[in-house]
Each structure stands twice: as structure tokens, then as C-alpha cells.
Amino acid sequence: MILRSISARLALAFLVVAGVAVGVITLYVLPSLQDRLQEQKLASLKTAARTYSRPLRQAIGSNLDEKAIDSEVRAAADRANARVTLLGVTRGTEGLTTYVISDSAEEIDISDLSFAVALEAAKAGRVVTGTEASDEGRLGQAARPLRYNGRVARVVVFSSPLSDVNETVDLIRRRILVAGGLAVVVALLVGVLVSRPLSLRIRRLERGARQVTAGDFGARFPVGSRDELGQLARTLDEMQRQLAQLDEARKRFIATASHELRTPIFSLSGFVELLLDEDLDEETRRTFLVQVRDQVARLRTLTTELLDLSRLEAGSLELRPERTDVGTIVRAVASEFLPALSTHGSHLELRLPATTVEAVCDPERVAQVLRILVDNALVHTPPGTDVVVAASQADGRVALAVRDSGPGIRHADVHRIFEPFYTSGDAPGSGLGLAIAHELAERMHGRLTVESQPGRTTFSFELPARPPTE
Ligand SMILES: Nc1ncnc2c1ncn2[C@@H]1O[C@H](COP(=O)(O)OP(=O)(O)O)[C@@H](O)[C@H]1O
Ligand SMILES: [Mg+2]
């Protein structure tokens, strides 16, 4: 429908405003103007009737002949610039009646006029005004009773056509209609002119949004001006930048994940082919089987980690917080690493306070973070590197620290080690461990940070002692 477009609606709104204005003027202002003009006209006739009827009153009772009276009437009409009619009053059995004695406009037939105002004035004994329809249109009339010996003997009526009032009002009405028509045209033009650039800009934004929907993250949203649309464009542009980044990250993640999965699978299928060889001696077969076992272990870790990370990022990983003694978790994790520590020739020192360190947290997930950190402290350091795991509590926070005396992390790498798949390249890991630990810490309303220099690398894992009231 055409009214769906902003220009059409805006033009229609302007049109309605112009229409209402014209309507109010013609229906409300013009009639009251007409009434006012008519009242003014009657008032001036009334004044004329008061001012110019004296000679006519004096003529009553005198024996002026018909002609003389006619000329008095005409004289009054000339002075008042109105038509003057002199009427006699008779008192019959049916009450008062009037009859025309003389009229200033003899040439005009007055037989159709009833002079109701004259009768009224005679009855009321005062000046009465009114209107009456005639062949030449409506007349305004002012009737003044003339007394003789205390009784109303005659009535003089001053009348004047109201056509000039109507003409004036008609003229104004015509002008208003013309002005209204003009206003409507201007309103339509302005509506279109104002809304066209707006709808063009909206359409540009829409085109951009469509491009993004279709997966083209290179789409741009031209900002243009600082108004609301500009603001919207800015927001969309920002959104699209974020989407592009997310899309980029997602693609990178999928590419790396599939690469990481493919490597052990290819290696596995290679070893399986080799194992199928019947002539294999027992020694080699064992070596291959150990390789197969390692690759399967790698695949298992990788898939578990991938699953954990995707659950964490999707927010679907459920945490089961409970009141936990963190010291117990630290001791349990440390004992899990005893075999690894002895192969690595390292010593692990626990630094736990005398009192219990309690936090409300998911013990399984805290243990997972600790495992990742201790594992790194062994895997990414040369054999014989000592490790310290410490726990403390202060200001409603529980702080865990895993420190090693290894060569440390290169300065350029420090802020990237929490990214998924980021590895230094020399170790067998897939680079998901710290990414998972970081996400887990955030999900538990905690923090995981690192400080590293040669000979001293510390990962600090902070947790709230009580869960925040959500
Ligand atoms: N204690 C540490 N000492 C030195 N480098 C570390 C240590 N912990 C982590 N790193 C670096 O951070 C990278 C990412 O660690 P992580 O996410 O656990 O992946 P992975 O252990 O699979 O390589 C490692 O490849 C390593 O370069
Ligand atoms: Mg690791």
C-alpha cells in the first residue's frame, strides 16, 4: 500500500493539517464573521433610524400633503444612505396592523415585503432590528416607532441590502479556499522534499542490513549526519564490525579445530594401515600401538576441550556451586600430578594457610582450572623446574596461584595465550587449555591473570568467597 512509505505518510500529515486549518476557518471563523458584519450593519441602521427620523415624526398631525411626506421620506433616505419606508399603524379588531404610507424607492416594488419589524416595533414601542428576504436578496431593517399624543402612530423603517456583507464573506471564503489549495500543494511538496532524503537514507541502511543478512560482512552503513538516522547508522556500522569480527573468529576457530582434529586422525589411519602389515615384527608393532594410543588420547583430550569451550561460549555449561574447601581441591589436584612430576623431575610445593580456605564454587571446575595451570607449568618448562601452588583468602576473595621457575612466556605472547588454539608451537598441546580456564574463571565471577618474567611465571586465579547475589 502506498501509505507504507514515510513520504506518503508525511505528505498526508501535512495535508490533513492544512485541510483542518481551512475547514476550521470556513466552518467556524467565516460564519461568525458574517454574523458580526450583519450585526454592525443593523447597528448602523438603528443609529440612522434614531438620527434621521425626527422630521418624519414632526410631520405627524401636521397637514402635510402626500407629496411633502414623500419628499421628507426621500430626504431622510438620502441622509441615511438607506431606503426609508414610512408605515401607518391602525388598531383594528385583530390588533395592530401596519400599512405603507410612503417609500423612498418608489420605483422598486415593495409589495412582497411584510415589514414584520415595523409591527414588532409598534407593539414594543422601541426600535427593533431584523432581516427580511426580498427579491434582491436579504434586507437588514431597523424600525423606529413614532409617537403622537403618547401612542405609536407611525413606524419608520430604514432598510439596506445585506448583499455587501455576503459579498465580503464570499470574497474572503474564495480567498481562503485559494490559499488552502495553495497550502495543500505546498504541504505535499514540502512533505515529499522533507521525506525524500530521509527515505533514501533509510533505504541505504536497509540495503546494508540486507547485505549483512546475506552474509556479506563488508557492507558499510554511511553515517551522513548526526541526527537519529545517523545514530542508527553508527550503531549498525558498529554492530556490523562486531559481526565481522565474530565471523572472522568463528571461521578461524573452525579452520583450526578441523585442522587439529584432522592431524591425529590422519596419523591414526596411517598407523592402522602399517599395523595391518603381516610381516611386522613385535617390536615395531608395539611402537606403532603406543603411537596409536597417544593419538587417541590426544583426540580424546581435544574433543573434550572443544566441547567444553563451545559449551562455555554458548553459555550452556552448568555450574554447581557449593561450599567448598579450596585447600582440599588443591591437594587432590597436586596428588594427581605425582607421576608427571616424577617423570619431569620437578618438585611441587603447596602453600596453604593453617585455616581452611572456603569458597562457594563448583569444585569440579576449580579443579579443572588448576589442572590446566599445573599441567602448563610442567609441559611448557624444562625438566626439573619447580612449581608452587598457593591459596589464600582476603577481602571476600579467594586467591589461588600457580607459579613456576621456568623460562617464562615471551612478552609478545603474554596477552595472546588466553586465545583459543594459541600455542608457543613447541609443545604438543592444542592451545585450548588457557582459553577454557579463562572462560571458566569468568563464568565463576572470578579472574585469571598472568605475570611472567624469566625464572618466574605466576598464574593468579581469583574467586569470590561467596557467589554474587544475582
Ligand atoms: N607456565 C607456563 N610457562 C611458559 N609458557 C606457558 C605456561 N603456561 C602457558 N604457556 C604458554 O601458553 C600457551 C597456551 O597454553 P594452553 O592454552 O594451555 O595451550 P597448550 O598447553 O595446549 O599449548 C602455551 O602454548 C605456552 O606457550
Ligand atoms: Mg596447556
Over residues 264-275, the pLDDT tens digits come to: 899 999 999 999
Q: Where are the domains of the chain?
A: 7-167, 228-313, 318-464
Share of the chain above pLDDT 90, in %: 46
Which pTM does this prediction carry? 0.60
- 346-374 pLDDT per residue, tens: 999 999 999 999 998 999 999 999 999 99
Model pLDDT, residue 11: 78
CA of 424 to the centre of ligand 1 (A): 7
Q: Are 136 and 42 in contact (CB under 8 A)?
A: no
**Tens digit of each residue's pLDDT (9 = 90 or more) over 290-319:** 999 999 998 998 899 999 988 888 888 888
Give the number of the ligand closest to the Cα of residue 422: 1
For atom 24 of ligand 1, the residue with the nearest CA is 423
CATH topology of domain 228-313: Helix Hairpins (1.10.287)
Residue range 430-444: mean pLDDT, rounded: 92
Per-residue model confidence (pLDDT) at position 245: 86
Burial (CB count within 10 angstroms: exposed 0-12, middle 13-18, buried 19+), residue 122:
buried
pLDDT at 388: 97
Q: Is 457 in the pocket of ligand 1 (CB under 6 A)?
A: yes
Nine cell digits for residue 367: 579443579
The per-residue pLDDT for 470 is 52
Maximum Cα–Cα distance across the chain: 167
Contact indicator for 56, 73 with CB cutoff of 8 Å: yes
| Residue among 348, 372, 434 whose CB has most ligand 1 atoms within 8 A, to mutate | 434
List residues bridging with 96 in a β-sheet. 91
Is the shortest distance between the CB of 427 and ligand 1 below 6 Å? yes
- With a 6 A CB cut-off, is 433 part of the ligand 1 pocket? yes
pLDDT of amino acid 468: 66
**DSSP bridge partners of 450:** 459
Alpha helices in 276-403 (DSSP H): 282-314, 326-336, 338-344, 363-379
**C-beta neighbour count of 326 within 10 angstroms:** 25
CATH of 7-167, one of 3.30.450.20, 3.30.565.10, 3.40.50.300, 1.20.140.10: 3.30.450.20
Q: pLDDT tens for residues 61-76?
A: 787 788 888 899 999 9
- Cβ(130)–Cβ(116) below 8 Å: yes
CATH of region 318-464, choose from 3.40.109.10, 3.30.420.40, 3.90.226.10, 3.30.565.10? 3.30.565.10
Mean pLDDT, range 104-128, rounded to an integer: 84
Residue 1 — pLDDT band, cuts 50, 70, 90?
low
**436 within ligand 1 shell (Cβ under 6 A):** no
Mean pLDDT of 375-396: 93
**Looking at the predicted structure, is the pLDDT value of residue 3 above 70?**
no
Q: Is the CB of 346 under 6 A from ligand 1?
A: no
pLDDT digits (tens, 9 = 90+) for 214-225: 988 888 888 778
Q: Give the per-residue pLDDT at 296.
A: 94
Q: Quote the mean pLDDT of the chain.
A: 89
- 209 CA to centre of ligand 1 in angstroms: 41
User: Residue 404 — very low, low, confident or very high, per pLDDT cuts 50/70/90?
Assistant: very high
Ligand 1 atom closest to the CA of 402, numbered from 1: 1
Span 420-429, average pLDDT: 79
Residue whose CA lies nearest to ligand 1 atom number 22: 429
